[in-house]
Amino acid sequence: MTKTLILMRHAKSSWDAPATSDHARPLNGRGRRSAKALGDWMRAQGWIPDQVLCSSSARTRETFAGLKVPLAGEFTDDLFHAGPEQMLPLLARASGQTVLLLGHNPGIAEFAEQLVSSKPDHARFFDYPTGATLVVSFDIDDWNRLRPGTGNVLDFTVPRDLMNR
């Protein structure tokens, strides 16, 4: 049996209101277009989550809404600027077959690098820009059996790849 993880960084956020708290910062226009493109790509590729773990920030919530995934997300402060050491235990408690985990850099990029057995051949994998999305499978029957370095990369994209098609 396998489990699939869709590991996504939020789409591009707005810096138009400098007084807005980091947690409350929304997406900008490009970010909203990117979220829609990512959702379209996920559906076209068959990457449909049955569970969503999402940071509670405005920009991650708005990214999730833009994906148009037909299920409710689980929003948690524990993923707001979380590092791999916070993400792994959260994922270990997941119950879905295909889980979308939506968070922030630098933690999401570090987590992506730690999870895979070999890195995808994509120039943007290591800096994990806004909207970067890794799809990785694990040969496990329960998320609590996930071990770093064991993931098989199924796909990786960034919004710019999708917008230029």
Q: Looking at residue 40, which CATH number applies to its domain?
A: 3.40.50.1240
Question: Does position 1 have pLDDT exceeding 90, yes or no?
Answer: no
Q: Which two tokens stand for residue 21?
A: 């708290």
Q: CA 124 to CA 79: how far, in whole Å?
A: 22
Residue spans of beta strands (DSSP E) within 10-132: 51-55, 74-76, 98-103
State the DSSP H helix or E strand holding residue 54, giving kind and residue range, or none if neither: strand 51-55
Q: Which domain holds residue 10?
A: 3-163
pLDDT tens-digit profile of 19-46?
789 898 999 999 999 999 999 999 999 9
**Domains in the chain: how many in total?**
1
pLDDT tens-digit profile of 49-79?
999 999 999 999 999 999 999 999 999 999 9
Pairing status of strand 3-9 against strand 98-103: parallel
3-state class (DSSP) for residue 47: coil
Q: Which two tokens stand for residue 106?
A: 């630098």
Q: CA 35 to CA 40: how far, in whole Å?
A: 9
pLDDT at 92: 97
Mean pLDDT of 142-154: 97
Amino acid at 8: M
